[in-house]
Amino acid sequence: MKMVLASKNPHKLVEMKDILGHMGVEVVLESDVGVDVDVEETGETFEANAALKAQAVAAAAGLPAIADDSGLCVTALGGGPGVYSARYGGPGLTDQERYRLVLTGLSGQLDRSAKFVSCICCAFPDGTVLTARGECPGIITYAPRGEDGFGYDPIFLVPEYKKTFAEMTAEEKNAISHRGRALAKFKTELENYLHGTDQ
């Protein structure tokens, strides 16, 4: 099965391919199927934004489309950056500038608890929508650590591994990450959907 990734983020494409490839799902970019959809993320939840993106791309491409809306939710920041993670601090900032804003916001805070949240939405041309949510709890470090990953990965520590996401291998991260957990649930949803259509 071919699915169009409703994202321009090359890092998400790699993660989606790594995880969904084992299911026989070929994940392609919008440009691979000749569409270019710019969706304004006006939803107030991760689920709403993922659905907006997936439904728009599925309609444009005439193929199943999968979207992920994810973000970092920091307890001491009132759950922020949350759905605004990708545009925290305003347009034009780098990943490093965004995570440094988080570190500055936590200056003097003892509560460093946080979680990464991912909501996966797959929209089919027939109107069917499948959704799944995954979370990974952790803590915010006092300084960035690691060279891999992207976004807020260098400041997000998973205590049982004693590593930030940016210090993990792709295999380690995919096994426990919010996106990995959401995709594992999505796999079950997709299998149930495909089984149901075969009857």
The structure tokens listed for 88 are 């925290």
- Which residue's structure tokens are 């994202």? 7
Instruction: Respond yes or no: is residue 36 known to be catalytic.
Output: no
The structure tokens listed for 191 are 């299998």
Please give the angle made by the CA atoms of 147, 182 and 32, to the nearest 5 degrees.
75
Spatial CA neighbour of 67 closest among 27, 105, 121, 111: 121
Q: Which of 36, 38, 68, 69 is catalytic?
A: 69
The structure tokens listed for 137 are 């709890």
Q: How many CA atoms lie within 13 A of 169 on its CB side?
A: 4
Spatial CA neighbour of 39 closest among 88, 98, 92, 86: 86
Point out the residues that are catalytic: 69
